[in-house]
Amino acid sequence: MNILFYTDTPNYGGAEKQMALLAKHLKMLGHRVSLACGAYSILKQRRLELDEIYENTYLLPTIHKHDPRHYSKLKQLLKREKFDLIHIHLWNPGSCRYAFWAADHTKIPVVTTEHDPFELTGLKHKIKRMCLDRSDQIIAISMDNFGQLSHYGEGVKKRLNLVHNGIELDKYLDNHDKVSIPVQKGDLPAGRPGLVITCIAELHERKGQKYLIEAFKKLQTNMPTLHLVLVGTGPNEKELKNKYGDITNLHFLGWREDIPQILKASDIFVLPSLREAFGLVLLEAMASGVIVVATDNGGTTDIIDDGKSGYLVSPGNSDKLERIIRTILTNPDQKRDIEKAALERVKNHFTARVMAERTVEVYKKVL
């Protein structure tokens, strides 16, 4: 198949990386995938990287997602090139509306994936329904997402498919022998005098790091050698550092590229989000042999079988986080059993290969 991916995002974050990973594995299955997106500075900077992944990269001369040239330029592209279908990737529920209109006027089949689902109201809800009505098939990334999209009516529900995000296992599978040195000098406690709890997420209020820090403070009462490592940057960074920066054994690592190595140096991974679209980093931790704790919302409930492949707690509750982490730290045999079960779960259900194969099944429904 000859497929066109489209998004109007100005960013290169989790959704865009999943698009690239899907394109890579579709290519491995014998398909051609091109990309159309806005000519934003961040994407221009990654042009060489995008050209390695995609058959062709079309940077449309647009300045933001509301620019009507998304419609006119995409329509021209669809008329000029012979694509079998367009796969529209919504980086938020209200994005990409011009692409649906362009596809409608060129009569090309449409598949839609929503990467960061949340409820819309009013006019945005009506426009979203119109766009979904133009989709021949719709992909939800989690059961929570599936339920939200089902609210748009029976017509939409009949065209819904569940396709989970996936990861490439190779760079995580060799992580299972824990290191006894820091990832980089000064980053993590040298010689590992204590256990390390890690959270890798944007420092944003909705990611809930403050609840994890409060739990960590309680744990330190009788576990003084315990360490908490926060990886990431974001709008909440200054507030968190001002409030908690003087806590012993709390480490702010900032933005990092060496995530597999950081996971290798971790004993517990915690994602305390108040709202989480999917939680891809949980899969990375599980594939690295690190036990995971996450809040019970969004796609995390698809990833974690509570008590068997990890633990789920209610959002915004530092007391429950503290109790679960303490239970993990005081039951090492159970911890190892859960880590093994988690790795098998990722291998069976959440690889990039599985994601690509299930996406192809959706394409076949359209064609």
Q: What is the DSSP string of 78-137?
A: HHHS--SEEEEEESSTT--HHHHHHHHHHT--EEEEESS-----HHHHHHHHHHHHT-SE
Q: Are residues 156 and 48 in the same domain?
A: yes
Q: Which domain holds residue 6?
A: 2-166+351-366
Q: How confident is the model at residue 351 (pLDDT cuts 50, 70, 90)?
A: very high
Work out the average pLDDT over 217-229. 93
What rounded mean pLDDT belongs to the chain?
Answer: 91
Residues 124 and 214 in one domain: no
207 and 262 inside one domain: yes
> In the predicted model, what is the mean pLDDT of residues 262-267?
89
Phi, psi of 351 (to 5 degrees): -95, 160
**What confidence tens digit (pLDDT) does each residue in 135-189 have?**
999 999 999 999 999 988 899 999 999 999 999 998 888 655 544 434 443 455 5
What average pLDDT does the segment 268-273 reach? Answer: 97
Calculate mean pLDDT across residues 332-344: 96
**Are residues 193 and 211 located together in one domain of the fold?**
yes
**Residues 300, 174 share a domain:** yes
Task: State yes or no: pLDDT of 229 exceeds 50.
Answer: yes
Domain count, the chain: 2
Question: Is pTM beyond 0.75 here?
Answer: yes
Q: Are residues 185 and 111 in the same domain?
A: no
Write out pLDDT tens, residues 118-128.
877 888 888 88
Residue 273 and residue 299 in contact, taking contact as beta carbons nearer than 8 Å: no
Q: Are residues 214 and 224 in the same domain?
A: yes
Same-domain status, 357 and 261: no
SS3 352: helix
188 & 300 share domain:
yes
Mean pLDDT of 281-301: 95
Q: Same domain for 276 and 301?
A: yes
pLDDT of 362 over the 60 cut: yes
pLDDT at residue 273, rounded to an integer: 97
CATH code of residue 7:
3.40.50.2000
**Mean of pLDDT values over 255-275:** 91
**Residues 183 and 314 grouped into a single domain:** yes
One domain, residues 344 and 356: no
